[in-house]
């Protein structure tokens, strides 16, 4: 790959910490950066604190000078940017941290890419396309975000592309479908289900429960991203990351109830729908599969691993 020393932002978060595990297990050096907001957890990276191939820095990615110093002092080859605010409900409340992390923070990283001439793998989301009733979005479809979170992620993509076009920088862009797995923040859907069941509380199911998401187990996701970096060598293109495993919220809950041997009526209550709760996201994965021969984790096996790895 020609890339051995990574700056990994959001390294103490859900997906970022799994990316950290993979990079270190594959023999890379990682300078990990995380602001350590509510979405991060020091337990996610604690297992690596004695590893000489890992250095952790508690830092906001908006700190351009601080990031620059880390890159230079650790001879970083490239950046993988998982650092982001991701909770749609919080973005609707008008929290400026979404602007700070998802837009200003990306601009800070791109300034360092420009100044130090290093490439970036920018992690985005399938939500930038907006919802779709039928069919699936490909990488060439237009962006049409419908909530404040996805709007900031779309803006970040445009910033990356603008820097690449203006200054000749190299990047690869990844739009991921809905990740789940161990270490996911408690605010998300699957951890909420597990927590409710373990505490003998009813699972809150928004609206009619028919909202559809495209699910991917987190360890599969980071392996795919790693291989995209390896095989593309930062080719200034966009790649959807998806297993095309679509399930509505009712189906997700039923799979988990089946695991515990529990009854629907005893465990689930319908609640008012969320603001900005898009009906269905769906993306193609043809481009990804042209690069990678990949054996995916089934949803049932992924849920089992998630439940076994749940600590909250």
CA–CA separation, 88 and 101 (whole Å): 14
Contacts of 108 (CB under 8 A, 6+ apart): 61, 62, 63, 64, 67
Check if 226 is active-site: no
Of the candidates 34, 41, 60, 126, the residue annotated as catalytic is 126
Of the candidates 34, 60, 149, 217, the residue annotated as catalytic is 149
Check if 149 is active-site: yes
CA–CA separation, 195 and 35 (whole Å): 26
Of the candidates 34, 41, 60, 127, the residue annotated as catalytic is 127
Could you give the residue numbers annotated as active site? Answer: 126-127, 149
């Amino acid at each position: 790959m020609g890339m051995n020393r990574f700056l990994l932002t959001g390294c103490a978060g859900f997906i970022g910490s799994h990316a950290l595990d993979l990079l270190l297990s594959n023999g890379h050096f990682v300078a990990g950066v995380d602001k350590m907001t509510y979405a991060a957890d020091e337990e996610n990276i604690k297992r690596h604190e004695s590893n000489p191939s890992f250095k952790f820095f508690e830092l906001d990615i908006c700190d351009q000078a601080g990031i620059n110093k880390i890159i230079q002092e650790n001879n970083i080859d490239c950046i993988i940017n998982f650092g982001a605010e991701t909770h749609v409900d919080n973005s609707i409340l008008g929290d400026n941290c979404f602007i700070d992390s998802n837009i200003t923070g990306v601009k800070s990283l791109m300034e360092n890419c420009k100044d130090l001439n290093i490439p970036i793998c920018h992690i985005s989301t399938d939500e930038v396309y907006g919802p779709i009733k039928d069919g699936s979005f490909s990488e060439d479809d237009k962006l049409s975000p419908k909530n404040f979170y996805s709007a900031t992620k779309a803006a970040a993509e445009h910033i990356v592309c603008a820097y690449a076009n203006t200054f000749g920088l190299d990047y690869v862009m990844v739009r991921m479908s809905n990740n789940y797995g161990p270490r996911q923040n408690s605010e998300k859907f699957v951890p909420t289900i597990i927590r409710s069941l373990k505490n003998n509380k009813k699972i809150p199911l928004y609206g009619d429960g028919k909202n559809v998401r495209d699910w991917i187990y987190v360890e599969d996701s980071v392996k795919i991203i790693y291989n995209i970096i390896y095989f593309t060598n930062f080719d200034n293109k966009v790649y959807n990351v998806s297993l095309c495993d679509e399930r509505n919220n009712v189906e997700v809950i039923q799979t988990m109830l089946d695991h515990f041997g529990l009854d629907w009526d005893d465990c689930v209550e319908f609640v008012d729908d969320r603001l900005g709760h898009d009906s269905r996201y769906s993306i193609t994965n043809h481009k990804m599969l042209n690069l990678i021969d990949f054996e995916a984790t089934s949803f049932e096996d992924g849920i089992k691993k998630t439940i076994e790895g749940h600590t909250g």
